[in-house]
Amino acid sequence: MMKSLLRKIVPVLLLVSLMSVPAWGQGRLATIDMRKVFDNYWKTKQADAALKDRAADIEKEHKSMLDDWKKAKEDYQSLLTEANNQTLSLEERDKRKKTAEDKFKQIKDSEDAIQQYERQARTTLDEQKKRMRDSILEEIRTTINGKAKSAGYALVFDTVGESVNNTPVVLYSNNENDITESVLSQLNAGAPAETPKTQDQKADTKDDKKKARK
């Protein structure tokens, strides 16, 4: 209970104490919508596409392994049936039984391989996603730092950021010094030709398509 209370109070106290320092009165504050910047950065879209391609390759291999496993189970059932076929000689039935035992071992090995592949696939995708996310966030932060310094901002708040108890950190902003669009424009300035550089360009493209249909 005490720890929970401290988690709620400390962020507020920190903010109040920082805002009370004289230097804050001399510095300018800015805001940014990090979610919008991250989601609309062209490298984020590129990373999402790469992850989807990797996931599709993994799913394709996974399906192939499952198909082989299902086929092995069907073969195993057929071998069991033949091993009990009284029209066959005892020697032939024993041969089918031995083959069925080998096939059963193959099935168990396949199941282990599939489970290991699934675990490794999840780990691979999670690690790739984390690497891409960390890299993109670092680029965004570097751009924000540069823009904040050049504009003389003492601090930049994320308007969609949340505290440890899942409440908004910024409760009000008039967006007078919001740098979301300027940061996004700078990040997307180097986007490939086929990648829309701003949300406005995407909207324009949709409008052009609607006009073309008419």
Encode pLDDT of 63-117 as tens digits.
Answer: 999 999 999 999 999 988 888 888 888 888 889 899 999 999 999 999 999 999 9
Least Cα distance to 75 among 51, 106, 52 occurs for 106
Residue 146 domain-assigned?
yes
Please tell me the predicted confidence (pLDDT) of residue 21: 43
**Mean pLDDT for all residues in the chain:** 82
Instruction: For residue 82, give Cα distances in angstroms to 97, 122, 155.
Output: 8, 40, 78
Q: How confident is the model at residue 27 (pLDDT cuts 50, 70, 90)?
A: low
The angle, 0 to 180 degrees and rounded to 10, between the axes of the packed helices 90-151 and 42-83 is: 170
Residue 2 domain-assigned?
no
Q: Which residue bears the tokens 């902003």?
A: 173
Residue 51 domain-assigned?
yes
Q: Which of 23-27, 150-154, 197-201, 203-207 has the highest mean pLDDT?
A: 150-154
Residue 208 domain-assigned?
yes
Q: Which residue bears the tokens 């031995």?
A: 98
| Residue 182: domain span | 25-213
pTM of the model: 0.67
Residue 123 domain-assigned?
yes
Average pLDDT over residues 147-159: 93
Please tell me the predicted confidence (pLDDT) of residue 162: 84
Residue 12 domain-assigned?
no
Is residue 203 over pLDDT 80?
no
DSSP state of 207: H
Is residue 149 over pLDDT 60?
yes
Least Cα distance to 140 among 186, 108, 172 occurs for 186
Tokens of 93: 């039935």
Is residue 15 over pLDDT 50?
no
Residue 195 domain-assigned?
yes
Give burial (CB, 10 Å; 0-12/13-18/19+) of 40: buried
Please tell me the predicted confidence (pLDDT) of residue 44: 95
Give burial (CB, 10 Å; 0-12/13-18/19+) of 148: buried
Please tell me the predicted confidence (pLDDT) of residue 17: 39
Q: How many domains does the chain fold into?
A: 1
Residue 20 domain-assigned?
no
